[in-house]
Structures are given as C-alpha cells and as structure tokens.
Amino acid sequence: MIQSTGEFRRFGATIDLRLAASMLSTDVDDDSGVRECVDNIHTRLHRLNTVAETAIRSHLNVALNNIIHSTWQRFINMAGERADAVTQSQALMNRSVVISS
C-alpha cells in the first residue's frame, strides 16, 4: 500500500490509493465508501506514525541517558575516572562506534 523510495526516505513515500481502497473498503463507488476508506487510511497512518514516534523517542531517551551517565562517570563522580575538563581529546562520550566512509 505504501510505496517507498529506494532510499526509504520518509517524505518520498507515496500511497497507492487504488490498492488502499481495495484493501480497506468493499464499496468505494459512492461518496460514503470513499469517505470511509479515507478515514480508514488516515487512522492506519496515524497509528503507524505513533508507533514510529514512540520507538524514536525511546531510542533518543536511551542515547541521552547514556550521555548523562558517561558525563557523570567521567567528570563528576569522585570514584570514577575523573577527567579534569572536556577537551578535544577528552570528550563527553567515549567513541565506541567508528563509521568509516
């Protein structure tokens, strides 16, 4: 029903309305059937967006908590490594993943 781009970009996707209409409504010949189909599509897309937003918020919260914990452990905790200051070589977060191009 949703046709994504080859790069799976969020705003590049389109909806095959004929396929969606055939999947979500039995009678789309009259105005009430079309309206029901459009409402059904809207509800499903809203549900999908909510699921995606919840997952993204969860990932962002985990990332933020990791940064806060690392900063506390490395610069504030008296029993930790206790770096003197944040510098280019002593960043807030240790680099654990290196992405090479």
CA 41 to chain centre: 20
User: What is the predicted pLDDT for the residue at 57?
Assistant: 94
Question: Sorting pLDDT into bands at 50, 70 and 90, what band is 101?
Answer: very low
Taking 90 as the threshold, does the pLDDT of residue 95 lie above it?
no
In a domain, 96, yes or no: no
Q: Give domain status of residue 51, yes or no.
A: yes
pLDDT digits (tens, 9 = 90+) for 1-55: 566 656 655 666 677 767 776 776 655 566 666 777 778 878 888 898 899 899 9
pLDDT of residue 78: 83
Q: Which residues pair with 4 in a beta bridge?
A: none
In a domain, 26, yes or no: yes
94 belongs to a structural domain: no
Whether the per-residue pLDDT at 76 is higher than 70: the answer is yes
The domain of 15 spans 2-76
* pTM for this prediction: 0.57
Domain assignment of residue 97, yes or no: no
Domains in the chain, number:
1
In DSSP terms, 70 is beta-bridged to none
Among the residue ranges 31-35, 51-55, 57-61, 86-90, the one predicted with the least confidence is 31-35
Determine, yes or no, domain membership for 28: yes
Asked whether residue 20 is assigned to any structural domain, the reply reads yes
Torsion of CA 57, 60, 61, 65, to 10 degrees: 180
